[in-house]
Amino acid sequence: MRSAYVNGRYLPGARATVHIEDRGYQFSDGVYEVCEVRDSHIIDGQRHMARLRRSLAELRIPMPMSDRALGIVMRECLLRNRVRDGIIYLQITRGVARRDHAFPAPDTKPSLVVTARSLDRAANERIAVEGVAVVTVPDNRWERVDIKSISLLPNVLAKQAAREQGAKEAWFVDSSGHVTEGSSSNAWIVTIDGKVVTRPADRGILRGITRAVLLEVIKAQGLSLEERAFTPQEAYKSREAFLTSASQVVVPVVRIDGRAVGNGAPGLVATALRAKFHEHAGRS
């Protein structure tokens, strides 16, 4: 990373640091967003800003600057890091204060960090063409995973468990035996009779921006959709499976817990949805 915005200044990556008493560092007391950057455009920036505002409001952290000013910072980070295809990462914490669990004084300024980095679009395309493996793990997260908080320890452990089993993603399974979502993505299947299924965006999952846009793509394609929970057993027997996230868009899942999904190759629906996604996504 060449450059990062940290609390009002653009700093070289190596010197971009935060205070040791930042509440993000000490308590994970903060939220974040990740936006896709494609052909130098920010994808679905407004939806990401709306979700950011909602996450902040749920945690009663004030927005440190206007959307307009934040938009300028994001664009400057893209330029300074020469990002054409990649991601923007944005993090806001409750700020720096003497360590005490309860909220600090109301005039404590939230900390804002914005970074950007390039992703290898061709490499991501190859991953999508091959498809990825996922494994299931128990969902041991708190009840407010609808808030995009930086408190990601269960997600970190789940992703590591996946990596150690040669998989790209872990799908969380709740206490009733249903898949909630991935450690950093939303989870989908396509049933044998061609219905696209994903869990309703209740409090059990993060309301993915890619998920929301994809619901529109699905409608426009005339596909039938069921917003309901599904089990790993149903997923094993489904025709297709895939995952969605801002950084990876739509990625076909070809193995779940070591079992081939469908014929073990990326499905037609997932591949078509990936190809159509950006016709529906916002760009700025």
- The neighbouring-strand residues paired with 187 are 243
- Torsion over CA: 153, 155, 156, 157 (sign): positive
Of the candidates 210, 213, 161, 157, which has an alpha carbon nearest to the alpha carbon of residue 185? 210
The answer to whether residue 185 forms part of the interface with ligand PMP (CB under 6 A) is: yes
Which part of the chain contacts ligand PMP (CB under 6 A), choosing from 86-94, 106-114, 203-211, 256-264? 203-211
Q: Which residue has the tokens 């128990």?
A: 138
The answer to whether residue 34 forms part of the interface with ligand PMP (CB under 6 A) is: yes
Which part of the chain contacts ligand PMP (CB under 6 A), choosing from 11-19, 88-96, 162-170, 177-185? 177-185
Tell me how many degrees the CA angle 71-56-211 measures, rounded to the nearest 5.
Answer: 75
Select 94 or 211, whichever has its Cβ closest to ligand PMP: 211
Helix (H) or strand (E) holding 77: helix 67-80
> What is the token pair recorded at 146?
């609808």
Using the rule CB under 6 A, which residue among 45, 86, 95, 208 binds ligand PMP? 208
State phi, psi for 114 to the nearest 5 degrees. Answer: -130, 130
Select 83 or 96, whichever has its Cβ closest to ligand PMP: 83
Using CB under 6 A as the criterion, what x/- string covers residues 127-166 for binding ligand PMP? Answer: ----------------------------x-----------
The answer to whether residue 110 forms part of the interface with ligand PMP (CB under 6 A) is: no
Q: Is 148 a catalytic residue?
A: yes
Angle between helices 45-59 and 67-80 (to 10 degrees): 120
Tell me which of 109, 148, 159, 219 is the catalytic residue: 148
Which residues are part of the catalytic machinery?
148
